[in-house]
């Protein structure tokens, strides 16, 4: 992994979706339906995750007449990092909640 | 293929063709995925979202490449400036050596104890041999740590030597 990057709420959704079945390959549309993200939001996230080597990609040939599909899966480093990042973001969220409660 | 899907496909293909190579493969992924979406309007929305994503990614990649090219050009300019400065510094060092040497020669020529035949020898010594030898020694000493500076000194020394040889031969 090159470096840790800022987790947007949409990235958290995508990582969550990947972590539901960390070892299986997923299609873009499949992730889009799971997360509710449109392709315009989903693909930049996937590109960024692939650039950080957290997601690996491959082309899957399908039945005749249809073009091959691009598939995505978390790398082992991606699984580790996603779990850590989600844990961190969860901690941050809970500490923000605590802070808010203290302010109130 | 319905008209809606056809339009969606053409739009996405057009943007993919304009995208830089790295982004293009992601565009192909979006096109491939679109044909697996059953609902026509979902396919159109998918294509439009993909178009926006591709445009954004392409723009970012183009800007990154442009910034890199500009920074490369600036660093090349900086290198050239440093090279010229170092060589000119070397030339300046050689000129200082020559001036000191010529001042010494002028002092000697005015001295009463110097014989006329010795004056010619002193001229040769202080105008050519000593400054050239000093330049050569300085260039050799500085060759490893300050190669550009040494090149400047050597070039100035060579020019001085060539000029002196022409002067004495003539």
Residue B106: in which H helix or E strand, if any?
helix B40-110
Q: Residues B27, B33, B39, B42: is their CA dihedral positive or negative?
A: negative
Radius of gyration of chain A (CA): 16
- Of B38, B30, B33, the C-alpha closest to B14 is B30
Measured CA to CA, the distance from residue B113 to residue B81 in angstroms comes to 49
Query: Are residues A29 and B29, on separate chains, in Cβ contact within 8 Å?
Result: no
- DSSP letter, residue A24: S
Q: Does residue A3 form part of some domain?
A: no
Beta strands in A30-95 (DSSP E): 55-60, 69-74
- Using a CB-CB cut-off of 8 Å, the residues of chain B touching A43 are 26, 29-30, 49-50, 53-54, 57
Q: What residue spans define the domains of chain B? A: 3-67, 78-169
Q: Percent of chain B, pLDDT > 70?
A: 98
Edge-first strand listing for the sheet containing A69-74: A26-27, A69-74, A55-60
Residue A90 is part of which domain span? 9-103
CB contact under 8 A, A47 and B57: yes
B36·A39 Cβ contact <8 A: no
Residue B84 vs residue B166, higher pLDDT = B84
Q: Which of A17-21, B6-10, B142-146, B162-166 is predicted least confidently?
A: B162-166
Task: Confirm if B125 and B101 have CB atoms less than 8 A apart.
Answer: no
Please give the Cα distance from A77 to B154 (Å, whole number). Answer: 56
Residue pLDDT, tens place only, A28-73: 999 999 999 999 999 999 999 998 899 999 998 877 677 888 999 9
At B71-122, the pLDDT tens digits run: 999 999 999 998 899 888 888 888 888 888 888 888 887 777 767 777 778 8
Do the domain assignments include residue A68?
A: yes
DSSP single-letter state for residue B19: S
Chain A window 71-100: which residues touch B at a Cβ cutoff of 8 Å? Answer: none
Helix or strand or coil: residue B134?
Answer: helix
Q: Is residue A2 one of the residues assigned to a domain?
A: no
Domain count, chain A: 1
Instruction: Please give the ipTM for the structure prediction.
Output: 0.75
Q: Are B4 and B43 in contact (CB under 8 A)?
A: yes
Using a CB-CB distance cutoff of 8 angstroms, which residues of chain B are in contact with residue A59?
A: 32
Does B46 sit within 8 Å of A29, measured CB to CB? Answer: yes
pLDDT score of A2 more than 70: no
CATH of the domain at A92: 1.10.10.10
């Amino acid at each position: 992994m090159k470096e840790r990057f800022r987790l947007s709420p949409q990235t958290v959704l995508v990582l969550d979706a990947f972590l539901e079945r960390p070892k299986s390959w997923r299609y873009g549309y499949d992730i889009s339906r799971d997360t509710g993200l449109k392709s315009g939001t989903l693909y930049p996230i996937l590109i960024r995750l692939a650039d950080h080597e957290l997601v690996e990609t491959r082309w899957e040939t399908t039945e005749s007449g249809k073009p091959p599909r691009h598939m995505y899966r978390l790398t082992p480093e991606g699984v580790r990092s996603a779990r850590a990042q989600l844990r961190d973001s969860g901690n941050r969220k809970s500490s923000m909640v605590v802070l808010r409660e203290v302010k109130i | 293929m319905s008209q809606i899907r056809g339009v969606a496909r053409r739009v996405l293909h057009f943007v993919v063709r304009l995208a830089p190579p790295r982004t293009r493969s992601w565009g192909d992924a979006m096109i491939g995925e679109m044909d697996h979406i059953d609902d026509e309007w979902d396919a159109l929305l998918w294509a439009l979202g993909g178009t926006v994503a591709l445009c954004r990614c392409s723009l970012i990649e183009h800007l990154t490449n442009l910034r890199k090219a500009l920074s490369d050009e600036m660093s090349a300019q900086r290198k050239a400036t440093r090279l010229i400065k170092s060589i000119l510094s070397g030339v300046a060092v050689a000129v200082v050596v020559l001036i000191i040497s010529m001042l010494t020669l002028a002092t000697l020529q005015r001295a009463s104890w110097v014989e006329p035949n010795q004056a010619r020898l002193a001229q040769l010594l202080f105008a050519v041999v000593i400054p050239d030898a000093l330049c050569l020694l300085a260039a050799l000493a500085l060759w490893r740590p300050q190669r550009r500076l040494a090149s400047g000194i050597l070039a100035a020394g060579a020019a001085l030597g060539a000029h002196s040889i022409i002067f004495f031969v003539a």
